[in-house]
Amino acid sequence: MESTMAKDYYKTLGISSSATPEEIAKAYRKLARKHHPDLNPEDQQAKKRFQEIQTAYDTLNDPEKRKLYDQFGDGYEQIRQGKPFGGSGESGGAGGFDFGDLFGGGGAAGGGGAVDFADIFRQFGGGGNAASGPGPTRSRKAAPPKGEDVTAELDVPLRLMIEGGDCEFQLQRGDRVESIQVKIPAGIAPGKKIRLRGQGTPIPRGKPGDLILTINLESHPAIKVVGNNLELKLPITLHEAIRGTKVDVKTTRGEVTLTLPPLSSSGKRLRIKGQGLKAGTSEAGDMIVEIQIKLPDRVPPELATAAETLQSEYPANFRDSIRW
């Protein structure tokens, strides 16, 4: 009777069973970036999917584990521990197993011969020897010690935060400085963290820790990020504020022509829907444009006269809104 695999790791990574190591690694990187819980904070299933992707990669990326998985499915770990069926029941009787058939054994003429259990357990990591029969299974090796994780912060320009891409930065380690490459996911919000495995503190005869990188937005004179929204302070002239105008504004998805109505005061806010940051499967934020009237450094005399005339148009209670 054919056994069926409870979990298809090839299907999890979206690859064929003949995929090369390079194809496995490429598929893993793509899915890990897409489903990482840090990039999908509102998706309750993201962590579970990411764990499934990680388990599939850990298995298929290891030649020995992949060989056993291809033969025995996702229960191969029991085989590696010398427990082919995950239990200690006896063969024989109704529903018993013919170990000779299962492992390709077979004796001399006269039917299935005895199976050398020592060879079987040695093959799959168990104990025992030919003279004494199968002995106790060997305990799994303890995981190697891991160095401490390192934390750092990286300021990136708005363009890189929106579009994503590769970034190189300098990290101080003791008395030396290292250049480290990191890929910034498109649409990442300020304050999000990226884990760079193996880039932390090294440890003798063990695995180095990880580098936990917090992504911040570089200071920008006119733009700031609030959640998934982009807030832009748009400078306009006094003439544009009085008469109204059209201004081309760069957004996350290209330029948008924004129409400013006549008599637009400083502080007036206009919303451009869907032109903010978009991380993973979350909905894109908006761009909020706040008008800022900017006067020239020099005012011609004739304009000063006109300004006096304009002053008379303001009501007497012009500043009442700021009273306590």
Query: Which residue has better confidence, 240 or 89?
Result: 240
Give the right CATH number for 150-217 from 1.10.10.10, 2.60.260.20, 3.40.47.40, 2.130.10.10.
2.60.260.20
Helix (H, G, I), strand (E, B), or coil: what is residue 290? strand
Query: Same CATH topology for 150-217 and 223-311?
Result: yes
H/E stretch holding 196:
strand 193-196
pLDDT at 277: 79
pLDDT in tens, 86-107: 544 444 444 444 444 444 444 4
Residue 116 has pLDDT above 70, yes or no: no
Q: How confident is the model at residue 108 (pLDDT cuts 50, 70, 90)?
A: very low
**Cα-based angle 118, 123, 125 (whole degrees, multiple of 5):** 90
Is the pLDDT score of 191 beyond 90? no
pLDDT tops 60 at residue 246 = yes
Q: Tell me the range of 82-91, 173-182, 255-264 where mean pLDDT is highest.
A: 255-264
pLDDT band at 190 (very low <50, low <70, confident <90, very high): confident
Residue 78: CA atoms inside 13 Å, Cβ hemisphere, count?
A: 11
- Tokens representing 34? 């897409």
Question: How is residue 204 written in tokens?
Answer: 């003798």
CATH superfamily of 9-86: DnaJ domain (1.10.287.110)
Q: Is the pLDDT of residue 189 over 70?
A: yes
For the chain, the residue count is: 324
CA distance 130 to 112: 19
35-49, 70-84, 169-183, 206-220, range with the lowest pLDDT? 70-84
Each residue of 256-313: pLDDT tens digit?
Answer: 899 999 999 999 999 999 888 776 667 888 999 999 999 888 888 888 788 888 888 8
- Residue 164 has what pLDDT? 87
The arithmetic mean of pLDDT across residues 27-38, rounded, is 85
Neighbours of 26 (CB within 10 A): 14
Domain spans of the chain? 9-86, 150-217, 223-311
Rank 41-45, 129-133, 284-288 by mean pLDDT and report only the highest. 284-288
Site of tokens 């963290």: 193
What is the pLDDT at residue 130? 43
What are the structure tokens assigned to 226, written together?
A: 């609030």
Q: CA 51 to CA 53: how far, in whole Å?
A: 5
Among 39-48, 177-186, 234-243, which stretch is predicted with the lowest mean pLDDT?
39-48
Question: What is the number of other CB atoms lying within 10 angstroms of the CB of residue 163?
Answer: 12
The CATH number for 223-311, chosen from 3.40.50.970, 2.60.260.20, 3.30.2420.10, 3.40.50.1820, is 2.60.260.20
pTM comes to: 0.45
